[in-house]
Amino acid sequence: MNGLPPALAAGLAMLPDGTFAGKTVMVTGGGTGLGLAMGREFARLGGRIAIASRSEEHRAKGVAAIRAEGGIAEGIALDVRDADQVALAFDTVEERLGPVEVLINNAAGNFPVRAEKLSPNGWRAVVDIVLTGTFLCSKAFAARRVARGESGAILNILATYVDGGAPGHAHSAAAKAGVRNLTESLAIEWAPDGIRVNALAPGLFPHDDHAPAMRSRRPDGYEAEKTRIPAGRVGKTQELGWAATYLCSPYAAFVTGHMFVIDGGDRLNRSIRNPEFEPIRDQLPD
């Protein structure tokens, strides 16, 4: 399990070429990090990618990365917390790329903070982006799919701390746990309409786009983390792309309401080695 698959080095897609040809895929927060990695994988398989987020700089970076690989991408201004902006974003994507057939609810806010120091606004910001934003985008998506009488797929990006919580992440973990439950409700409700709703729970996937607050505070970065994770390494972002494209593809037509965990066994908490231990509370900002 420790070795990287050769296909990763070769930059290969997992599914057949053209699996998403002619389909429009909206990725919220798709200009950076994991969202961009997933968008690149959908684009490799022929999908037309709408990168929807607040920052023009992030959107432009994501669009350029996908176009540089020969893919089709457009940037769409969106704050997922605002229902009017969500409606406008779906309309704009439809004009530019065609109706959205796949929605990746990837946008998130998070900053590690001791819960007793988290302000009401800080709590609201994270819960609104993660939980309310996922609901608003899912609702707008499904309303359009149902009106057209056409099927679709939604993928909600969680985090493995939906089970068990995490010190310093009370706001994010609670919001993500809410999204997990929402995934299940919507999967049942929209299954008769041909809309599948699944979730992808990543473990640790460090990347260069992370905001300073989200970077490891340890001088050795993620080296110690690697010894804690049973697989002996952190995740590679393209691995999420493979999982996301599978879950939204016709090969997963009978999969809905599922949470797919991709974490190298981290959540099982069975360390095969014993790293130097530093309590997570002690790693949080003062």
Ligand X SMILES: NC(=O)C1=CN([C@@H]2O[C@H](COP(=O)(O)OP(=O)(O)OC[C@H]3O[C@@H](n4cnc5c(N)ncnc54)[C@H](OP(=O)(O)O)[C@@H]3O)[C@@H](O)[C@H]2O)C=CC1
Contacts with ligand X, residue ranges (CB under 6 A): 28-29, 31-35, 53-55, 58, 78-81, 106-110, 129, 133, 157, 159, 202, 204-205, 209-211
Residues with Cβ < 8 Å from 57, sequence gap 6 or more?
31
Using CB under 6 A, which residues numbered 145 to 164 contact ligand 8Z2? 159
Q: Which of 105, 110, 198, 249 binds ligand 8Z2 (CB under 6 A)?
A: 110
Select 216 or 271, whichever has its Cβ closest to ligand 8Z2: 216
Q: Which DSSP symbol is given to 263? A: S
Strand pairing of 100-105 and 24-28?
parallel
| CB-closest chain residue to ligand 8Z2 | 109
Q: Is the dihedral of CA 19, 135, 187, 109 positive or negative?
A: positive
Q: Which of 72, 77, 87, 125 binds ligand 8Z2 (CB under 6 A)?
A: 125
Report what 7 binds from ligand X, ligand 8Z2, none; CB cut-off 5-8 Å by kind.
none
Q: Which DSSP symbol is given to 191? A: G
Report what 146 binds from ligand 8Z2, ligand X, none; CB cut-off 5-8 Å by kind.
none
Report what 143 binds from ligand X, ligand 8Z2, none; CB cut-off 5-8 Å by kind.
none
The answer to whether 31 contacts ligand 8Z2 (rule: CB under 6 A) is: no
CB 112 within 8 A of CB 161: no
Q: Which of 172, 198, 238, 256 binds ligand 8Z2 (CB under 6 A)?
A: 172
CB 90 within 8 A of CB 77: no
Question: How many C-beta atoms lie closer than 10 Å to residue 192's C-beta?
Answer: 7
Which residue, 160, 201, 187, is CA-closest to 255? 187
- Measure the CA–CA gap between 58 and 162, rounded to whole angstroms: 27
**Beta bridge partner(s), residue 105:** 156
State in angstroms the smallest separation of the CB of 189 from ligand 8Z2.
26
Report what 80 binds from ligand X, ligand 8Z2, none; CB cut-off 5-8 Å by kind.
ligand X
Q: Which of 7, 64, 68, 214 binds ligand 8Z2 (CB under 6 A)?
A: 214
State in angstroms the smallest separation of the CB of 246 from ligand X.
17
Which window, 118-126, 147-155, 231-239, 269-277, contacts ligand 8Z2 (CB under 6 A)? 118-126
- Whose tokens are 């020969």? That residue is 70
Q: Is the dihedral of CA 174, 180, 186, 189 positive or negative?
A: negative
Phi, psi of 31 (to 5 degrees): -90, -10
The answer to whether 113 contacts ligand 8Z2 (rule: CB under 6 A) is: yes
Report what 55 binds from ligand 8Z2, ligand X, none; CB cut-off 5-8 Å by kind.
ligand X
Q: What token pair was written down for 121?
A: 């606004």
- Measure the CA–CA gap between 74 and 64, rounded to whole angstroms: 9
The answer to whether 111 contacts ligand 8Z2 (rule: CB under 6 A) is: yes
The answer to whether 121 contacts ligand 8Z2 (rule: CB under 6 A) is: yes
Sheet containing 48-53: order of strands = 72-77, 48-53, 24-28, 100-105, 152-157, 195-202, 259-262
Catalytic residues: 161
State in angstroms the smallest separation of the CB of 129 from ligand X.
4
Could you list the residues that contact ligand 8Z2 (CB under 6 A)? 108-113, 119, 121-122, 125-126, 159, 172, 211, 213-214, 216-217
